[in-house]
Structure 1
Amino acid sequence: MRNYLKALKRCTAVGAIALAGFSLQPGSAQAADPGPRPGPGVVGGTRAAQGEFPWMVRLSMGCGGALYTRQIVLTAAHCVNGSGANTSITATAGVVDLNSSQAVKVKSTQVLQAPGYNGTGKDWALIKLAKPVDLPTLKIADTPAYNQGDFTIAGWGAASEGGGQQRYLLKATVPFVDDATCQGAYGGSLTPAEEICAGYLDTGGVDTCQGDSGGPMFRKDDSGAWTEVGIVSWGQGCARPGYPGVYTEVSTFASDIKSAAASLGG
């Protein structure tokens, strides 16, 4: 298990969320984060345009996610507590402004946390919604071919370490950081076969942060389609030089995610 005093999961407890103008609906599926957090989008980001990333989802426990199907959200395992029936989570989709009257809000019915998840690696989970939403979905990488280059990150989490959650969806670009370099930064805490790193190692300044957990890291594939290559997982602080963001390596778990989604029937 990682030292959570240093390496913090990027989810925000419901009680810590403070955002002028609205409040996220609390639920019983609290983030399974045993350590302290800097507090309740994306550091160094800019506003995303309405409809730019239509598969982005905000979850009421203080995490992000992406529509894997129109009725299933892919998020991080540490954002949920185990698997089973769960009607406490509200997914908000279809907007970049969480205050928008056009927001689509749907309750959860089931949660499936990655089998064998114990806080290290395997940081993915699926949330089945009560009904399908009429929005595009984000396909996942089923090959490591796209685990390189520059990636896009997006979320409604803190825009600075220790900052508050954001009303508007923010986006940024981060470059790939190889496993050996990332492993060195985190003193051996990385699980290379299951995690992928990205960020500006020398300068910092751009990163996901608390409240972005579970959201996608994505890039264009060879056909020009957006493809999810990572799931926001953890990091030391936010956007600190020398400490890239750590993401679940989606291609490693693509077949598991596909099978799990089929079992949910969504």
Structure 2
Amino acid sequence: MCSIILFGIFLCALVFDCALGITTGVTSTGDTFICLPNGTPCPTVGFGGQNMIHPRIVIPVSQKITKMEIKMKKKLANINELCPNGFFPCYGIETQCGEIFVEGNTSNDGNAVDGAHPWQAFIKNLTHAFAGSGALLDPFHVLTAAHKVESNQGTPEEVIVYMGVWDPTDLENTQSSPVKEILVHPSYNKESLLNDIAILRLEYPIIFGIQNNINTICVPEFESSFIGTKCMVSGWGQSSFTTLDAPTNPQKQVSVSVVDPQTCRESFARPSLLGGYVDMYLDQVGEICAGGEASRDACTQDGGSPLVCPDSTGKLNVAGLVIWGKNCGQPGVFGVYVNVPYYSNWIDTTLEGLRAKYNK
């Protein structure tokens, strides 16, 4: 059983498994919808090692996604009726990227408020109950780190994306979809993690305006700079480099400031870190660095997690994606992120191609 939360109010229980993401779809005319129980209000207005890097890659854990879930999704895709008996299609509403709909959101380090990061995707696959994170760009597309998904390019349906996750052990108030296609940046290097960026095309759309814990994040313009900006990174990665507790419960958040490329390079060029190998791993154009304060950092298994920063107008943008570091939360050692503004043209072009391919 699962529940739907509309504007933070409990409505009722659905009779099928929300964790399988079977409540959304697309009509023959291209409209996206979610199945709600008959009598439920459907909204029509919006929500007011030394010399080596440590990739933030997953470690196998239990509760992996099953092949039965994939089989169920394929079967449900062939259902002719939009919704099962007792349910009706609600088409949701348009929301603005970067908006947070919950009360009590703070910038304090530690546990995040449920719904404070509505664009953050929780990703799992056949071998990992938690395979990484990402950022929702629109109903069908998630931005993530390539090293989290490149091994599934030939089997994208084995990757499942969940939106609205806060407590990884409770997926009731979420929407989910298997991945239909994985597009990795053509210059991605899995040894150095250069150009470590990918876009996931979802099989089923994510519907907005139904739940206050799901929304998109804005993509900054090309070459936007966030140096000196205090930003927020969130996720379910390990609480420390040696503590294998991912996915942590609940979602965590920490504020970090973006530093200039030279400061970051000087830090990693120290003999105790990367030394002469620094330019092999650190791309001062395609990557940005943030943090450098004790115990204020993303960590192992946080790969793909969005670094969200306000622009000059206060609008929240995905400025970075977690990719690698040296240990976690060490003073004077920065976390390294994909420099999303540098790839904004590639993101736009890729999205245009995918929308044209799937006519949505």
Q: The TM-score by the shorter chain falls in which range?
A: 0.7 to 0.9
- Matched position secondary structure for 1:257: helix
- Percent identity over the alignment is 26
- The separation in 1 between residues aligned to 2:66 and 2:155, in whole angstroms, is 17
Q: Quick one: which amino acid aligns to residue 67 of structure 1?
A: L
Amino acid at match of 1:89: V
Within 5 Å, give how 1:87-236 maps onto structure 2.
87-100=157-170, 101-119=172-190, 120=192, 121-134=194-207, 135-148=214-227, 149-163=229-243, 164-165=245-246, 166-187=248-269, 188=278, 189-200=281-292, 203-236=293-326
Tell me which amino acid in the other structure corresponds to 1:185. S
Structure 2 residues without counterparts, runs of 5 or longer: 1-48, 68-107, 208-213, 270-277
Q: 1:9 aligns with which of 45, 48, 55?
A: 55
Q: Distance in 2 between matches of 1:195 and 1:93?
A: 26
Partner residue of 1:37?
none
Residue of 38, 41, 47 corresponding to 2:111: 47
Q: Following TM superposition, by how much is the alpha carbon of 1:181 offset from its aligned partner in structure 2, in angstroms?
A: 1.7
Give the alignment's TM-score, normalised by structure 2.
Answer: 0.62
Quick check: 140-149 or 248-257, which moved more?
A: 140-149
* Alignment CA distance shift 1:250-1:26 (3 Å): farther
Per the TM alignment, residue 26 of structure 1 is displaced from its structure 2 partner at its CA by 7.1
**Higher radius of gyration, 1 or 2:** 2
1:238 deviates by: 0.8
2 CA distance for matches of 1:11 and 1:25?
Answer: 18
**Do the aligned partners of residues 68 and 84 (structure 1) sit closer, same or farther apart at CA in structure 2, a change above 3 Å counting?**
farther
- Alpha-carbon shift at residue 109 of structure 1 (Å): 1.0
In structure 2, what residue type is equivalent to 1:54? P
User: 1:5 Cα shift?
Assistant: 6.9
Q: Point out where structure 1 has 5 or more consecutive residues left out of the alignment.
A: 28-43
Cα RMSD (Å): 2.1
Q: Distance in 1 between matches of 2:158 and 2:109?
A: 30
Shift of 1:140: 1.3
1:59 equivalent to 2:123? Answer yes
1:242 to 305, 324, 332: 332
Contact 2:166 2:250 in 1 (8 A): yes
- The TM-score with structure 1 as length reference comes to 0.83
Amino acid at match of 2:335: G
Match of 1:25 in 2: 65
Deviation of 1:45 after TM superposition, in Å, equals 4.0
The number of equivalent residue pairs is 240
Distance change in 2, residues 1:24/1:55 (3 Å) = farther
Q: Tell me the SS of whatever aligns to 2:117.
A: coil
One-letter amino acid matched to 2:121: V
Q: How big is the shift at 1:84?
A: 5.2
